Amino acid sequence: MRKILVVNAGSSSIKTLLFDDALTPILSASVAEIGGKSRLRLGETEREVEAPDHEAAISLILQALADQGHPARSLTAAAHRVVHGGRKLVSPCRITPEVAAEIAACVPLAPLHNPHNLTAIRAVARLAPELPQFASFDTAFHATNPEEALRYALPGAEDAKGIRRYGFHGISYAGLVGRLPGISGAPLPGRLLAMHLGNGASLCAIREGRSVATTMGYSPLDGLTMGTRAGEIDGMAVLRLAEDHGIARAGTILNRESGLKALGGASDMHVLEAAEGEAARFAIRHFCYWAVRHAGSMIAAMGGLDAIAFTGGIGEHDAHVRAEIVKGLGWLGAKIDPAPNARGAARLHAEQSAIAIWKVLAYEEQTIAQDALARPDFPS
């Protein structure tokens, strides 16, 4: 049995999930609060540990897996989520020194993410040097967007620096495209509006299985209202924030103090749904309004709409938000069935709906494992 360890490294945590080659999860392991009061979670158990850095965290995870009968020598490969692949890394690949160098070259494009992804890759290489490593990129799915969708109307020198639209949540969207036919029992819709709604939120216009437009741009800040991110905002307003507060503080405001948190007092949609008061109601309306408004742009990019698919934490679990967004698209003939929507069924559209509406669970780790297994250079 081949075993793939999927690694998702963040700024202060590393999450892993071990799969067999049938893509069945075997065991999860993670370390949280790296550099602080670190905790190792293995399956359903948790204990305090010393993890001053990411390499120490990877070492703890590998030892914990070994203690459960999965030593590093028994693993076939490690597969990493990497946020930014830039212009060159546009499909899942085996990590070579050249690929690692390109991931490093993308650090200026994703300074909050790629350094931690790269640190985990290097830690695995040091601790298990014989273990092949693979990477899937959150930006890669959107590389099929036409150039006019990717290019900002900026001087060529700025575009050459990498200041252009990339889009994110690509691993989620790629998994959705792969799983939806199995859920619906029908071929993938030709014009699919995919909605990854969570603390980070985006929409993607998918035509014939390929991304043709998405709401996130140069960074994950653009587009929809999110948990703590402002979403779409005029560049001059950004400059005003930078002038008033300085660049670093302006970045904190835009990325960590805005969105639902700024409007309703909480970044968690579940908390807002349960809260009383107009501020929470307004935050939810704002979220749904901008999802509908941006959906119009995505539909135009596809030249129409055949189906909608919800995914992500909010998309999968919040029936009220799903209903409000579909209501806003009612002019297209989209109609949700209240009963299956309330119970969170996979099929959400009413019989008389002109648009199919689905819920697709986001199994991003499984998609990353599948990406690695599908590579011709994956060990047999």
Q: What is the CATH number of the domain that holds 232?
A: 3.30.420.40
Whether residues 115 and 213 share a domain: the answer is no
The pTM (predicted TM-score) of the whole model is 0.96
- Are residue 307 and residue 229 in the same domain, yes or no? yes
Residue 75, pLDDT score: 98
260 inside domain: yes
**pLDDT of amino acid 112:** 85
**Is residue 376 included in any domain, yes or no?**
no
Q: Looking at the structure, do residues 217 and 307 belong to the same domain, yes or no?
A: yes
Residue numbers of the domain that contains 215: 186-364
Query: Average pLDDT of each block of 10 consecutive residues along the chain (380 residues)?
Result: 96 96 97 96 96 96 97 97 97 98 95 93 96 98 98 97 97 98 98 98 98 97 97 98 98 97 98 96 98 98 98 98 98 98 98 98 97 96
Residue 243 lies in a domain: yes
Domain end among 100, 116, 137: 137
Query: Tokens in use for 7?
Result: 């690694």
Domain boundary among 103, 137, 171: 137
Indicate whether 105 belongs to any domain.
Answer: yes
Residues 320 and 224 in one domain: yes
Do 230 and 336 lie in one domain? The reply is yes
Predicted pLDDT at 85: 97
Do 78 and 204 share a structural domain?
A: no
Residue 166 lies in a domain: no
- Given this model, what pLDDT does residue 380 score? 86
80 within 8 A of 121, measured Cβ to Cβ: yes
Helix axes 114-127, 97-105, angle to 10 degrees: 160
Give alpha helix (H) positions in the chain. 54-67, 97-105, 114-127, 147-150, 156-160, 170-184, 235-245, 247-256, 259-264, 269-274, 278-302, 312-317, 319-328, 338-343, 364-374
Q: Which residues are catalytically annotated?
A: 138
349 conformational bin, left if phi > 0, alpha if psi -120 to 50, beta if neither: beta
Domain end call among 137, 159, 174: 137
Are residues 334 and 211 both part of a single domain?
A: yes
Q: Which two tokens stand for residue 51?
A: 């993890």
Q: Is 343 exposed, middle or buried (0-12, 13-18, 19+ CB in 10 A)?
A: exposed
The reply to whether 204 and 345 lie within a common domain is: yes
Note whether 81 and 205 are same-domain residues: no
The phi and psi torsions of 19 (rounded to 5 degrees) equal -120, 155
DSSP symbols for 73-101: GG--EEEEEES--TTT--S-EE--HHHHH
Count how many domains the chain has: 2
Residue type, 370: Q
Q: Note whether 101 and 212 are same-domain residues.
A: no
Same domain, yes or no: 224 and 326: yes
Does some domain include residue 245? yes
| Domain assignment of residue 237, yes or no | yes
Handedness of CA 226, 143, 172, 338 (dihedral sign): positive
Q: Do 129 and 192 reside in the same domain of the chain? A: no
